[in-house]
Structure 1
């Protein structure tokens, strides 16, 4: 990293902290490793201490425990870990900005994200696109299309990329089409919010029924200049429903040949008593924000010690 980039990064960190503190958010620090974690289907996790502790993929589990304890709206800039992800936009260890707003919903989370982007990046106003609208040019409704229809469409668009892929999971094929055909069209001229994902992709978000009768996730992602930058939810507060989703995620991990992740039992217990308040949460890859601010082409350019340069 160039020293000037390091200084720009430090300035962005200062502006980020000021942004949230001016709005009354509490800055917190949470563990990087713990005996439990939140299982997610597509995230590989690493362990330490002979497997007794899991390096956290985000501070979400601990943030929600603090919310249950009455901390109120909070934020953190910290390190997170995703096993073996290395590339232009990925590093196994990366910097994440995550925050939660108490008594706020999806629209509030999008509005705050937009204000942050305008503060840090002088970004233009967000453009909003539903998941259904984004798939419209492909001639399908992603909420109703069958697996075979999705498979045939993916094969017709990119046979070489898709032919080795086998799955009977609708969401897997939707993700293939999203990556191949939709994401390259998002956020070309301005940051673009993709929202109303299928309910089966809700992860830890609440679900609602949209105007056309489809159950959709209260989830959004922000794309700009070829990068996914933010992932936000109006959070699921029902501990029973959350446990069911996490058990499904672990089952999917096993089917993919990945290890089971220890369930976040303390969080699930605290979501029952005293309970998780209504809230919205957003996570942002801070390194990617620095890339946009400095014009860097890879995550390694904006980190003092990238994976390839580590001692």
Structure 2
């Protein structure tokens, strides 16, 4: 193991230039930079996300040697929405986020994230703004847009909103991707996510950033349900050159509905044999107080820099990745 950084000085300067462009982009739009804590007393209930946990021994809620759990944020989403509910305006944040996952070509467990929220925007208007940012940083003057349903029909000949386990298993088998765990899997969303990652993502966004919108409602617990089709939620993702770059929502503002979705997440976690997570009551209280109509998006800074520098491994744009940190 080398003590030296995996990102050289030349790339470090180019990375800094990308961050300067991002801050300039928001400055001209009167979107204010904010900062929220990395540690929180609660974490996400998402069945497919696991947070790093630490113990804090000096909380007012602890007694003697008893400690309380604190969680490193998987994104600043809940905290930023609490700001909006308290009266803050359009804002953004560039910060560290943490996910207890395996590191790889496009992912480090500690990573940099850009997240921003726009009052009065829906997901389509936010896609427009993200496209403008990608044009500034990457020189992408055009983008492709397609619904999740249309994408599946075009790429694999299946309508994901009316499909079945049998149809999806048959599709996976026809591409020689079937394994024992997939055959045993009963959750259609898990099979759809596998097909998206293995069969569809490698085919899209090769020349232009590809915005995929209106994901199944069951795959977007923090987004509004479409008024035109209750089977889908107003969520989008952006893919470019093999990289999943950004994930955005027309944000759900209903506290009761949000809490119900978190409870469903915990049921899924229990079915998967995972620890159930306490619901973030500060976040629910903020929604109950009144989150203004808004749209928000999270973008991976390290991945964006990879694209800007035309490099093929995230370690090339990090000083010290997890293995040498």
Q: Deviations over 1:132-185 (max 9, x none)?
A: 1111132211100112111221122224x4333221111011111111211111
Q: Which has the larger radius of gyration?
A: 2
Q: Deviations over 1:86-131 (max 9, x none)?
A: 0001111000000000111011110010000001111131100111
**Separation in structure 1 between the aligned mates of residue 147 and residue 286 of structure 2, nearest angstrom:** 33
Counting only pairs closer than 5 Å after superposition, residues 126-275 of structure 1 correspond to structure 2 as 126-136=143-153, 137-159=155-177, 161-165=178-182, 166-210=184-228, 213=229, 215-273=231-289, 275=290
In the other structure, the counterpart of 1:290 is 305
The answer on 1:109 being equivalent to 2:126 is yes
**Separation in structure 2 between the aligned mates of residue 25 and residue 58 of structure 1, nearest angstrom:** 19
Gaps of 5+ in 2: 1-6, 56-66
In the other structure, the counterpart of 2:52 is 46
Gaps of 5+ in 1: none
Per-residue deviation at 1:209? 4.6
Q: Deviations over 1:38-83 (max 9, x none)?
A: 2112111110116610111000010000000111110000000000
Tell whether the 8 Å contact from 2:95 to 2:114 is kept in structure 1 after alignment.
Answer: yes
In the other structure, the counterpart of 1:23 is 29
**Separation in structure 2 between the aligned mates of residue 135 and residue 43 of structure 1, nearest angstrom:** 25
**Separation in structure 2 between the aligned mates of residue 124 and residue 289 of structure 1, nearest angstrom:** 16
Tell whether the 8 Å contact from 1:221 to 1:228 is kept in structure 2 after alignment.
Answer: yes
Q: Secondary structure at the match of 1:66?
A: helix
Which deviates further from its counterpart, 48-57 or 301-310?
48-57
Name which of 50, 53, 76 aligns with 2:93.
Answer: 76
Tell whether the 8 Å contact from 1:43 to 1:82 is kept in structure 2 after alignment.
Answer: yes
Tell whether the 8 Å contact from 2:205 to 2:241 is kept in structure 1 after alignment.
Answer: yes
Q: Deviations over 1:200-256 (max 9, x none)?
A: 11220001154xx56211000001100000100000000000001111112212222
Name which of 90, 107, 113 aligns with 2:107.
Answer: 90
Q: Deviations over 1:184-209 (max 9, x none)?
A: 11101100001111111122000115
